[in-house]
Chains A and B, each alone.
Chain A
């Protein structure tokens, strides 16, 4: 199935241009919702102005129904979406603290930016505080081992609620919509009870009663419709792989970086052709788990295939190491590392670059010529000998 979405852009510049446009729309919408006003945001926690809850949940419903609806009809490839990994304890504790900071400052990070852009000095000060707190966390997570343990505790990788509850995604979406609809009615009721208790925030909109039910009602219908749609493909256990350049891998191998693990995941017949020195053969499924268990958090695992087109992390792979796909696959390794460079211009810097790359190329062409010779006959005879696992040592 080839889905239309998410869009793939030819250049990073175009992608970043969409970031500016969508960011402007995000900021504009937050401003119009009243989120540039700390008093209005704080009203959520004194129950007389539940705008935060209403806006946030309506937005989640719309996006959720859109994402799972588009996936159900095959327009969106769910496995390519970034899904926040679950770290139970850091999210529970961090969420609670963020709520405390929210009511103390009256703002959250995104709304603080909008409020500051609306000229509010308290938001500017809160934003300065956010920088301070960010720095504080980065320093203390290094100093206190218990904080770093908390940061990584309860890691479940990609965990989706429909898998936790064991029900189809559209059914869960429908339940979320219905639950939110009931919560909206509750919020309206609470607001009416609290009306007049505190001074109202200026420019509160007059809500037309009919609209209150229109949104959750329409979404409920959409979600119920989606329940009968074909089930969307299961989101693969992303986090998606990060990418690593061939030159970077080469430098790490030459430096004998401790703990570096290189996995060759090409099909067994293709893997008979020379690969990276020191690479271990593995398959993109649970059979590779024994190789990967016991790795430390953040330890680098470089994974490569023929062309560098790998999907998200396979199900069952432990999430604590850092996985990186060799950008461009073995093809890039050949062209960027094994091929001696030719200078593009006569500058000194360019000549230095060429000299460096040629040194690297010499290092690896020696290594890769030697390794297969010891492990397997030349490719022409490989058919008779069968595909041997190449475990060139040294690194």
Chain B
């Protein structure tokens, strides 16, 4: 069966914008993603070494005052994202266990790139206090200065390195 086509990007943008606006009206904050790994790491770290976790600059605030790090709006929202992505892919006939890659790279090569890129992103989202969802999209909509700088730098970083990894994609 041929999968359902993707939405027109401007239509998809309007829908995404409405979801983001609704989030601000309901939850007084934007959408996020990288808090999901951060809070799970905080939970695990607090189990292994509570003292270290409480004083850690990146994780401390998630466990402050004995808080349970997963009891959090963004964390629960990300569970919804995974569900929504699954429903979307399934209903569009696009759910497929596969490796997405360009024609000129091996599966193993692609997975190594994915692991390296993911590790860089996890580090970067820690340093920048958010990722494309929490900083660029949500912070951008509130016109936060740092979020716009972040967004410009994401594009700058992507274009700066694209040529070197082109074998993976095109």
Interfacial residues, chain A to chain B (CB-CB below 8 A): 5-7, 12, 15-16, 18-34, 36-40, 42-46, 48, 50-51, 53-64, 66-68, 70, 76, 80-88, 90-123, 125-138, 140-142, 147-148, 150-152, 156, 158-162, 164, 169, 172-173, 176, 184, 198-199, 202-208, 211-212, 214-215, 235, 242, 244-245, 248, 298, 322
How distant is A94 from chain B, measured CB to nearest CB, in Å?
3
CB–CB B137/A59 < 8 A: yes
Min Cβ gap B81→A in Å is 4
Picked from B4, B6, B143, B152, the residue with its CB within 8 Å of the CB of A95 is B152
Query: Is B21 a contact partner of A67 (Cβ separation < 8 A)?
Result: yes
Shortest Cβ distance from B10 into chain A, in angstroms? 5
Whether the pair A118, B85 counts as a contact (CB closer than 8 A) is yes
Q: Which residues of B contact A137 (CB under 8 A)?
A: 58, 122-123, 126-127
- Are B12 and A110 in touch, CB under 8 angstroms? no
Out of B41, B52, B142, name the residue touching A134 (CB < 8 Å): B41
Q: Complex Cα distance A192/B163, Å?
A: 20
Name A94's contact: one of B87, B125, B133 (CB within 8 Å): B125
| Residues in B lying within 8 Å of A, measured CB to CB | 3-31, 33-34, 36-38, 40-41, 45, 52, 56-61, 64-66, 71, 73-74, 76-89, 92, 94-103, 110-111, 113-162, 165-166, 168-170
Please name the residue on chain B nearest to A37 by beta carbon. Answer: B100
Q: Is the interface of A mostly helix, strand, loop or mixed?
A: helix
With A57-B13, A156-B146 already in contact, the answer to whether A205 and B8 are too (CB < 8 A) is yes
For the complex with contacts A95-B124, A158-B144, A159-B144, 9 further pairs of A-B residues with Cβ separation under 8 Å are A22-B22, A90-B129, A99-B161, A107-B121, A120-B97, A120-B100, A128-B115, A133-B123, A156-B145
Partner of B131 from A19, A110, A142, A169 at Cβ < 8 Å: A110
CA gap between A140 and B77 in the complex, in Å: 28
Q: A6-B28, A24-B87 are in contact. Are A84 and B144 (CB under 8 A)?
A: yes
> Closest residue of chain A to B128, judged by CB?
A94
Q: Which residues of B contact A90 (CB under 8 A)?
A: 127-129
5 shortest A-B CB distances, which residue pairs? Answer: A23-B80, A129-B118, A133-B122, A99-B157, A58-B13
30 A-B residue contacts at CB 8 Å?
A22-B27, A23-B77, A24-B83, A26-B19, A27-B85, A27-B86, A32-B6, A32-B15, A62-B21, A63-B137, A84-B138, A91-B147, A92-B149, A94-B150, A95-B124, A96-B124, A97-B157, A102-B121, A104-B116, A106-B169, A117-B83, A118-B88, A129-B120, A134-B38, A134-B123, A135-B41, A136-B122, A141-B57, A151-B127, A211-B11
